[in-house]
């Protein structure tokens, strides 16, 4: 099983810019990538971090730079038994991925919110990705046009791609032990459980 993890460090997680500095967002993005790689590496050594050129990623993993758009860069690398897992899914754990990798459909696809595709696994080299604009539904259509058996992988933890403040709250509540979770706590974030709906808080700096 080959696992492709797309990653970019240029102004990452821009929707968090109102509560995290650029340096903090870069650090968070790197730590989430490490959280994802750590759990994926329990299932395969064939992990590939796919990034735009000149990423200057200081990581001890196989990194491939590709100047093309995300879809083209991924599609050029799809073979039989290829998974694409997003780098901002810090709540993935071994139990989730065991269920994911053990699914036996031709295309296994995990929805994120807003019509996104957070993880997919194709056992057919003809499958092609097309991210954004409701990619989950596009991917299901593409697979069905190829006559592939599709399995929707139903997971709360896989659905949490950290994109906005509400996702940070989920990471803080459910991410015990993850590097990204420890980092957020270290820079002052926490959860206020005194409200009917828990809220994200940040203690004053300095």
Angle, alpha carbons 3-70-31 (nearest 5°):
55
117 binds its own copies (CB under 8 A): no
Options 26-34, 45-53, 71-79, 110-118: segment touching its own copies (CB under 8 A) = 110-118
- The answer to whether 119 touches 86, Cβ cutoff 8 Å, is yes
- Taking CB under 8 A as the binding criterion, the range among 34-42, 56-64, 80-88, 133-141 that sits at the site for its own copies is 133-141
Query: What tokens were used for 201?
Result: 């808080």
CB-side exposure of 37: number of CA atoms within 13 Å?
A: 23
Q: Alpha-carbon dihedral of residues 123, 125, 127, 132, nearest 10 degrees?
A: 90
Structure tokens at 123: 């056992």
134 binds its own copies (CB under 8 A): yes
Q: Does 55 bind its own copies (CB under 8 A)?
A: no
Binder among 42, 68, 80, 95 for its own copies (CB under 8 A): 95
Q: Does 170 bind its own copies (CB under 8 A)?
A: yes
Size of the chain, expressed as the number of residues it contains = 206
Query: Count residues contacting its own copies (CB under 8 A)?
Result: 32
C-beta atoms surrounding 45 within 10 Å: 9
Smallest distance from the beta carbon of 199 to its own copies, in angstroms?
A: 9
Work out how close the CB of 53 gets to its own copies at its nearest, in angstroms, rounded to a whole number. 22
When binding is defined by CB under 8 A, the residue of 77, 126, 174, 185 that contacts its own copies is 174
What 3-state DSSP class applies to 114?
helix
Give the residues lining the site for its own copies (CB under 8 A). Answer: 95-96, 99, 110-111, 113-116, 132-134, 136-137, 154-159, 166, 169-170, 173-174, 191, 193-198
């Amino acid at each position: 099983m080959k696992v492709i993890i797309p990653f970019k460090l240029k102004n990452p997680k821009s929707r968090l810019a109102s509560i995290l500095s650029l340096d903090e967002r870069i650090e968070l993005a790197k730590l989430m990538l490490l959280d994802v790689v750590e759990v994926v590496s329990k299932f395969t050594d064939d992990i590939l971090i796919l990034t735009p050129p000149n990423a200057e990623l200081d990581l001890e993993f196989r990194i491939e730079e590709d100047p093309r758009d995300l879809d083209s860069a991924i599609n050029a690398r799809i073979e039989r038994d290829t998974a694409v897992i997003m780098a901002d899914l810090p709540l993935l754990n071994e139990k989730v991925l065991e269920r994911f990798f053990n699914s036996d459909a031709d295309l296994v696809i995990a929805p994120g919110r807003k019509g996104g595709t957070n993880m997919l696994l194709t056992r057919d080299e003809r499958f092609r990705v097309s991210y954004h604009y409701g990619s989950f539904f596009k991917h299901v259509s593409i697979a069905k046009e190829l006559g592939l058996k599709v399995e929707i992988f139903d997971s709360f933890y896989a659905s949490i791609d950290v994109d906005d403040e509400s996702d940070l709250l989920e990471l803080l509540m459910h991410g015990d032990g993850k590097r990204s979770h420890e980092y957020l706590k270290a820079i002052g974030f926490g959860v206020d459980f005194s409200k009917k709906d828990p809220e994200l808080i940040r203690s004053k700096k300095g």
